[in-house]
């Protein structure tokens, strides 16, 4: 089943049947970068909508903003799944890459992974800030209903979908009736938002963990490539030095051979001169 899933991912992204041309690869890298850019723009839109929600007390505005947040959050979740799937497709196709293109493939894949991880972190920070500010807003609304509420009571109301008993007591007061009802409804709405935020943060934490592991593994691969390249370079340098030494030795040997040759020639010439002189002296006497 796992093999079928990988094959399906490869097929959907055009990296099957040996199709691993670098032009196709770079096209896919560009497409993934565009998706990451869209993802980041969505995060910015989410942040703007969250700011609108935090600064408004109008129930209709809150409902409309919550609906928009749900829609853009769903789009962003789909985008993250698509980006992750396409990066996994690149990983699955990596084994088919030629040794000449392997390092470029690994490096470019690692670039989009790192950018995606950075975008995920930005989304995490956005959600964390919104969660914190939403809880602070809920606390202020609770104090409108019950000014003397302890921190433990506030925490219980924030955590447990609003404490209906506390609000029912406040609603019985004619002085705070309208304000308390509005505060109660806002606390309920914001509590729902906080639950969605926490769900999103859990999903982002898992996604961040998955992609960080992949990036770490890719870094190990790049380190291995760099070490191998350094080793090859060192071996080449050693080889070049050995060749230079061998050439130098060969030249010295050749030079010594020529020296010995000319010494022998000189000796032969001297012997020939001596022999000729001796013979020239002996021949007249014999005559």
Query: Considering the chain, what is the average pLDDT of its residues?
Result: 76
Range of the domain at 70: 2-229
156: CB partners within 8 A, 6+ apart: 163
CA 105 distance to own-chain centroid? 13
Question: Is residue 274 a part of any domain in this protein?
Answer: no
Q: How far is Cα 38 from Cα 79, in angstroms, rounded to an integer? A: 8
Distance CA 18, CA 36 (A): 27
> Contact, 106 vs 221, CB < 8 A?
yes
For residue 126, give the CATH number of its domain: 1.20.58.70
CB 7 within 8 A of CB 86: no
Count of structural domains within the chain? 1
Rounded percentage of the chain residues whose pLDDT exceeds 70: 67
Q: Kindly state whether residue 13 falls inside one of the protein's structural domains.
A: yes
Look at residue 4 in the predicted model and tell me its pLDDT. 40
What is the pLDDT averaged over residues 209-231? Answer: 59
Q: Is residue 241 part of a domain?
A: no
- Specify the pTM: 0.64
The tokens for 144 are 């409108």
Sorting pLDDT into bands at 50, 70 and 90, what band is 17?
Answer: very low
pLDDT for 87-101, tens place per residue? 989 988 888 888 888
d(CA 57, CA 147): 19
268 lies in a domain? no
In tens, the pLDDT along 170-211 reads 555 545 566 666 777 777 777 788 888 888 888 888 888 888
Whether the per-residue pLDDT at 129 is higher than 90: the answer is yes
Q: Is residue 166 part of a domain?
A: yes
């Amino acid at each position: 089943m796992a093999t079928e899933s990988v094959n399906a991912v490869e097929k959907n992204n055009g990296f099957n049947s040996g199709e691993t041309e670098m032009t196709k690869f770079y096209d896919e890298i560009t497409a993934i970068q565009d998706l990451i850019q869209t993802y980041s723009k969505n995060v910015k839109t989410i942040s703007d909508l969250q700011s609108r929600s935090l600064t408004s007390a109008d129930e209709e505005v809150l409902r409309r903003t919550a609906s928009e947040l749900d829609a853009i959050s769903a789009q962003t979740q789909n985008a993250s799944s698509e980006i992750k799937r396409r990066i996994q497709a690149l990983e699955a196709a990596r084994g088919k890459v030629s040794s000449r293109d392997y390092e470029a493939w690994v490096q470019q894949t690692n670039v989009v992974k790192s950018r995606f991880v950075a975008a995920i972190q930005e989304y995490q920070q956005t959600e964390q800030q919104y969660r914190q500010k939403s809880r602070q807003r809920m606390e202020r609304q609770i104090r409108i209903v019950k000014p003397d509420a302890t921190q433990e009571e506030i925490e219980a109301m924030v955590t447990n979908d609003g404490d209906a008993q506390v609000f029912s007591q406040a609603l019985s007061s004619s002085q705070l009736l309208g304000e308390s009802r509005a505060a109660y409804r806002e606390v309920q709405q914001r509590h729902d938002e906080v639950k969605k935020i926490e769900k999103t943060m859990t999903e982002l934490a898992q996604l961040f963990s998955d992609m960080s592991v992949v990036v770490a593994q890719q870094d190990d691969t790049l380190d291995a490539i760099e070490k191998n390249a350094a080793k090859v370079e060192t071996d080449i340098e050693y080889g070049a030095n050995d060749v230079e030494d061998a050439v130098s030795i060969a030249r010295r040997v050749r030079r010594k051979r020529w020296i010995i040759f000319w010494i022998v020639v000189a000796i032969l010439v001297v012997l020939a001169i001596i022999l000729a002189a001796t013979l020239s002296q002996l021949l007249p006497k014999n005559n």
